[in-house]
Amino acid sequence: MTINFKGRVAVVTGAGNGLGKNYALTLASRGARVVVNDLGGAIDGSGHSGKPADAVVEEIRAAGGEAVANYDTVAEPKGAANIVQSALDTFGQIDIVINNAGIVRDKTFHKMSLEDYEFVARVHYLGSVYVTHAAYPHMRKANYGRVLMVSSNSGLYGNFGQTNYSAAKMAVVGFMNTLKLEGARNNILINALAPLAATRIAEPSGIFDVYDPELVTTDAVAAMVAYLVSENCTDSGNIIAATA
């Protein structure tokens, strides 16, 4: 099977580091024109910098690909709309959305502030909804779309100190389950990924006390992502666990 994205335009949120970066590089290497979105903040969502997104765009262009950087937040509808508009203004279309942006603010539930709970949910769940909502009319008009929601084993099975993160990661599954029904008539497919890889957002959970980070690489996950957002994929509504 050959996976090629020639003629396709992809938005990858949270693409300045880790898995999102690898997704953007992988799609670009296979011909996609890519909007590299990243707020450039810390893993708790604080701060802002254009450097991570710019660096990924430079890497894509150096390899002969096409990409543009975007620095908007997914946590606000206007920011999400701006991300999609970047694709339309630069490349004239949008075919693929990978909702990868995420943060963590881990604490046990009795110590967690509602502000931290709500903000994590807003980034992971509502951020995914906002970006998808902005792209969806254009996908319907084109009668084509591929959407990837990023879930997590923390959502599927639970993880100590992550009630906010876990709830948000299950919320995207519920969203997928209904949108797969609505999108089918317009050839818009939506799947969910539960990845495991050595990234900065995974490190605080202590996962690398169990798994060797040199073995759980982002490359293995990116291969599955490429399939799920390609024309080759005809499945919708699945939750895929992916790691090395």
Catalytically active residues are 165
Q: Which amino acid is present at 41? A: G
User: According to the 3-state scheme, what is the secondary structure of 55-75?
Assistant: HHHHHHHHCCCEEEEECCCCC
Instruction: State how far the Cα of 228 lies from the Cα of 230, in Å rounded to an integer.
Output: 6
From residue 223, alpha-carbon distances to 31, 131, 163, 240 in Å are 15, 23, 29, 12
Distances in whole angstroms, Cα of residue 121 to Cα of each of 69, 81, 140, 167 = 25, 19, 27, 7
Cβ-based neighbour number of residue 91 at 10 Å: 20
CB 11 within 8 A of CB 94: yes
Rounded (10°) angle between helices 163-183 and 127-142: 10
CB 95 within 8 A of CB 10: yes
